[in-house]
């Protein structure tokens, strides 16, 4: 049965027989040059893949000869490979880039490192898996970002914060002695999409992971991941010197504290010589941090960065901060705290910024920090796990959300200063650059819970490699590899995926509404909650519905958060008459009778969008039902059942939100829409 465990590396036999014949000819005699743990992995992957795809056992040639049709190896392995490109071209490939070149009768895959070659091989296999022509290949692929990362919010007791796919895959109890096959398959999957870094632990974790017993376990994972090109990072609790070191303070300017971190870092590198560094959440949601000692985020980050520098480690310091002292608009705090620190960070510090200023909402404008800290390398943080986007039950393809943010223009230098150009370092000449996704991976058989959620892990990796890929391309690749190359299946199912995010926005948070989820768990609607002791935890703080209208005025007559954006960026939102309606209630408190571009009143438009969201889930169901004969019974049924749940939840959102907001608008739900059941 198809369990989904294989992810997009299923390697089922190619059903198009003429294509299969062509491929077989071109793959008659593959050879992989070199000997290292990584080249062994390449050989194993290639054998498994070709056996599956071609439906016969495949022997790789053991040494190079004139009969080889596919020659794979590092550029310095043999003259034929090094002569594929000039010295300059090879240099431009960097550590991770690869070349795939076809010449008459032969194809070559090369790069400067074994890991680059592994990436090239996975790319080549993807061409086969998606039934692409492989005759005239001339591919040069260099990743746009150096650090392509997953952040696991995994705790040592194997619970996963905001995890919807079972327990943590890290089996701390049986580590270091027992290396679960899952770790290997996890590393393969990551390498296949270019992910090269992973933070194993929750940003909210305690300091236990930094003790020797656990470092030994971390070392075992790092050793397993290394040949796949994956570096390990850990979260570091700022108060660890107190908790583990028995010091009286964690003040970053205190000598004993600095000394403690120096020693701790040295100890970590004695276990893991290529340790990546720390991801730190400080002074946010109750976590300790430098501000506890009246120091700045830069003081804190720099102290740890100095300890890591001589080992070539880095600090990834999160900008997700908000405190009770800033009750007017949480939107503004990260910017207010961090912009004054621009230029004050050590060269091995990156500041990791969530895609938006509130928190991984179904739709948010890009975070105003992007473009506002030119002297600091900013790393993108996306949330792959679906905390606010349907959790375990909703089919939502997130590539369109990621793309929308990456393509946003910050106007920080001039037109076309996109978020993507901020994070890839090209706008301000930073050599450190990266993107991370909060992982949606757990120990469910299919890794991600919802069978379709695997696509979000895939999309994160593909976009970190090349943010210019379209959502369409990513969905297309993923569907073909994960399900089937059947043209009509791919065509219809891709439409579901490409529309799914907009559909979710319609039934959850249309027109710029945000943070009206159930408090704490963030599952389902709860726009009415108003009794939590911190104002910015209450949904009513975000929608501000009253007898006049609804929405958060963040313009110059309101919280002024809009002023954190460049004037040219502001233009798309500032004037209510011309504002992009997708963000209307994000920036404006609009009256219930405000006339929308559709001609409807705001109230009627809300009714319209909530209903359209529900109707569109029904459309998803109908489209999916047409695929019954195109996919295996097990996954077909799983997705069908989940779509039923999704429909119930979409109605729940619509009914709850409309009935609640109606208590302010005092207007009827137009009779052409389903009247919500008040129970
Ligand atoms: O989205 C919020 C989550 C918290 C999370 C926090 C953060 C890890 O609700 O669970 O904590 O953001 O990103 O730090």
Residue 276 neighbours by CB under 8 Å, 6+ apart: 197, 231, 232, 233, 313, 314
Å from CA of 161 to ligand 1 middle: 8
**Tens-place pLDDT, residues 107-153:** 999 999 999 999 999 999 999 999 999 999 999 999 999 999 999 99
Q: Which two tokens stand for residue 157?
A: 């007791």
Q: Which of 345, 533, 316 is nearest to 433 (CA)?
A: 316
CB neighbours (10 Å) of residue 304?
A: 29
Provide mean pLDDT across the span 163-174: 98
Q: Is the CB of 45 under 6 A from ligand 1?
A: no
pLDDT digits (tens, 9 = 90+) for 75-112: 999 899 999 999 999 999 999 999 999 998 999 999 99
Would the pLDDT of 325 be above 70?
no
Nearest atom, ligand 1, residue 281 CA: 14
Q: Give me the pLDDT at residue 410, please.
A: 98
Using a 6 Å cutoff on CB, does residue 388 contact ligand 1?
A: no
Residue nearest to atom 2 of ligand 1 (CA): 359
- Span 268-312, pLDDT tens digits: 999 999 999 999 999 999 999 999 999 999 999 999 999 999 999
Which helix (H) or strand (E) element contains residue 278?
strand 277-280
Neighbouring CB atoms inside 10 A of 284's CB total 22
**Stretch 564-589: mean pLDDT:** 98
Q: Are 200 and 232 in contact (CB under 8 A)?
A: yes
Interface confidence: ipTM more than 0.90:
yes
Which of 155, 161, 237, 522 to probe ligand 1 with, by most ligand atoms within 8 A of CB? 161
Q: Which of 337, 381, 387, 649 is catalytic?
A: 387
> Does 203 sit in the ligand 1 pocket, CB within 6 Å?
yes
Cα distances from 207 to residues 201, 239, 520, in angstroms, run: 10, 8, 24
Q: What is the pLDDT of residue 331?
A: 95
User: Looking at residues 590-599, what average pLDDT do you find?
Assistant: 98
Instruction: Judge if the beta carbon of residue 519 lies within 6 A of ligand 1.
Output: no
**Domains of the chain by start residue, with CATH:** 17-141 (3.30.379.10), 147-468 (3.20.20.80), 505-552+589-665 (3.90.1330.10)
Give the pLDDT of residue 201: 98
Residue 2's pLDDT band, with cuts at 50, 70 and 90, is confident
pLDDT of residue 85: 94
pLDDT, tens digit, for every residue of 202-235?
999 999 999 999 999 999 999 999 999 999 999 9
pLDDT band at 428 (very low <50, low <70, confident <90, very high): very high
Regarding the beta carbon of 204 and ligand 1, being less than 6 Å apart is answered yes
Per-residue model confidence as pLDDT tens digits over 504-545 = 999 999 999 999 999 999 999 999 999 988 888 899 999 999
Q: 436: buried, middle or exposed (CB in 10 Å: 19+, 13-18, 0-12)?
A: buried
Q: With beta carbons less than 8 A apart as the criterion, state whether 148 and 196 touch.
A: yes
For residue 285, indicate whether it is catalytic. Answer: yes
**Does the Cβ of 382 fall within 6 Å of ligand 1?**
no
- Dihedral sign computed on CA atoms, order 144, 146, 148, 151: negative
3-state secondary structure of 108: strand
| Beta strands, E only, 34-137 | 70-72, 98-103, 106-111
**H or E stretch including 232?**
strand 231-235
CA of 360 to the centre of ligand 1 (A): 9
CB of 260 sitting under 6 A from ligand 1: no
- For residue 162, the ligand 1 atom closest to its alpha carbon is 10
Q: How far is the CA of 299 from the centre of ligand 1 (A)?
A: 23
Band (pLDDT 50/70/90 cuts) for residue 67 is very high
Nearest protein Cα to ligand 1, atom 13:
320
Q: Are 393 and 450 in contact (CB under 8 A)?
A: yes
pLDDT in tens, 240-275: 999 999 999 999 999 999 999 999 999 999 999 999
What number is the average pLDDT over the span 483-501? 98
Cβ of 322 below 6 Å from ligand 1: no
pLDDT, averaged across the chain: 97
Q: Answer yes or no: pTM beyond 0.95.
A: yes
For atom 11 of ligand 1, the residue with the nearest CA is 204
SS3 state of residue 158: coil
Find the 519 Cα to ligand 1 centroid distance in Å.
12
Which atom number of ligand 1 is nearest to the Cα of residue 153? 8
Share of the chain above pLDDT 70, in %: 99
Is residue 409 part of the annotated active site? The answer reads no
CA pseudo-torsion sign 34, 39, 43, 46: negative
Strand 434-438 and strand 98-103: pairing?
unpaired
**Span 51-74, average pLDDT:** 93
Quick one: tokens of 655? 């009914």
């Amino acid at each position: 049965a198809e369990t989904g465990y294989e992810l997009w590396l299923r390697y089922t036999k190619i059903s198009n027989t003429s294509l299969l014949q062509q491929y077989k000819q071109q793959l008659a005699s593959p050879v992989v040059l070199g000997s290292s743990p990584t080249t062994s992995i390449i050989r194993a992957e290639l054998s498994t893949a070709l056996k599956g795809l071609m439906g016969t056992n495949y022997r790789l040639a053991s040494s190079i000869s004139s009969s080889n049709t596919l020659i794979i190896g590092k550029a310095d392995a043999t003259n034929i490979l090094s002569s594929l490109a000039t010295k300059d071209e090879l240099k431009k490939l960097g550590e991770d880039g690869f070349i795939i070149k076809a010449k008459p009768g032969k194809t070559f895959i090369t790069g400067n490192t074994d890991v680059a070659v592994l990436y090239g091989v996975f790319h080549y296999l993807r061409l086969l898996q998606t039934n692409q022509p492989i005759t005239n290949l001339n591919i040069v692929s260099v990743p746009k970002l150096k650090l392509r990362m997953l952040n696991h919010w995994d705790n040592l007791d194997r619970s996963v914060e905001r995890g919807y796919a079972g327990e943590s895959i890290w089996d701390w109890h049986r580590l270091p002695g027992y290396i679960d096959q899952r770790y290997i398959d996890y590393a393969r999957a990551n390498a296949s999409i270019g992910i090269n870094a992973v933070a194993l632990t929750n940003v909210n974790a305690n300091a236990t992971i930094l003790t020797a017993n656990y470092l030994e376990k971390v070392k075992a994972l790092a050793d397993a991941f290394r040949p796949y090109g994956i570096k390990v990072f850990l979260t570091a609790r700022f108060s660890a010197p107190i908790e583990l070191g028995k010091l009286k303070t964690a003040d970053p300017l205190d000598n004993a504290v600095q000394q403690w971190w120096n020693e701790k870092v040295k100890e970590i590198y004695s276990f893991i010589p290529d340790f990546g560094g720390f991801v730190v959440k400080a002074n946010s949601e109750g976590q300790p941090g430098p501000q506890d000692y009246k120091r700045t985020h830069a003081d804190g980050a720099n102290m740890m960065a100095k300890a890591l520098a001589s080992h070539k480690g880095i600090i990834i310091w999160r900008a997700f901060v908000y405190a009770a002292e800033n009750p007017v608009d949480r939107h503004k705090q990260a910017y207010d705290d961090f912009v004054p620190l621009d230029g004050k960070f050590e060269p091995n510090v990156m500041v990791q910024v969530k895609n938006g200023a509130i928190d991984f909402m179904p739709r948010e404008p890009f975070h105003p920090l992007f473009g506002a800290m030119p002297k600091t390398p900013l790393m993108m943080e996306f949330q792959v796990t679906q905390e606010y986007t349907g959790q375990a039950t909703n089919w939502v393809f997130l590539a369109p959300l990621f793309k929308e943010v990456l393509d946003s223009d910050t106007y920080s230098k001039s037109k076309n200063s996109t978020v993507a150009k901020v994070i890839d370092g090209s706008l301000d000449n930073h050599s450190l650059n990266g993107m991370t996704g909060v992982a949606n991976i757990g120990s469910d058989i299919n890794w991600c819970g919802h069978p379709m959620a695997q696509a979000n892990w895939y999309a994160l990796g593909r976009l970190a490699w090349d943010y210019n890929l379209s959502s369409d391309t990513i969905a297309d690749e993923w569907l073909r590899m994960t399900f089937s190359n059947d043209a009509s299946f791919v065509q219809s199912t891709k439409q579901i995926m490409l529309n799914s995010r907009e559909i979710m926005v319609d039934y959850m948070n249309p027109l710029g509404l945000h943070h009206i989820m159930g408090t704490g768990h963030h599952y389902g609607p709860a726009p009415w909650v108003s009794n939590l002791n911190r104002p910015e935890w209450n949904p009513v703080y975000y929608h501000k519905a009253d007898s006049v209208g609804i929405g958060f005025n963040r313009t110059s007559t309101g919280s002024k958060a809009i002023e954190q954006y460049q004037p040219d960026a502001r233009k798309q939102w500032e004037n209510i008459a011309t504002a992009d309606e997708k963000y209307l209630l994000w920036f404006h408190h609009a009256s219930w009778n405000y006339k929308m571009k559709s001609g409807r009143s705001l109230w009627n438009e809300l009714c319209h969008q909530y209903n359209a969201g529900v109707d569109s889930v029904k459309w998803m169901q109908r489209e999916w039902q047409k695929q019954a004969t195109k996919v295996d019974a097990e996954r077909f049924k799983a997705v069908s059942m989940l779509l039923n749940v999704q429909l119930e939840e979409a109605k729940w959102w619509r009914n709850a939100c409309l009935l609640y907001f109606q208590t302010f608008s005092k207007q009827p739900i137009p009779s052409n829409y389903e009247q919500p059941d008040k129970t």
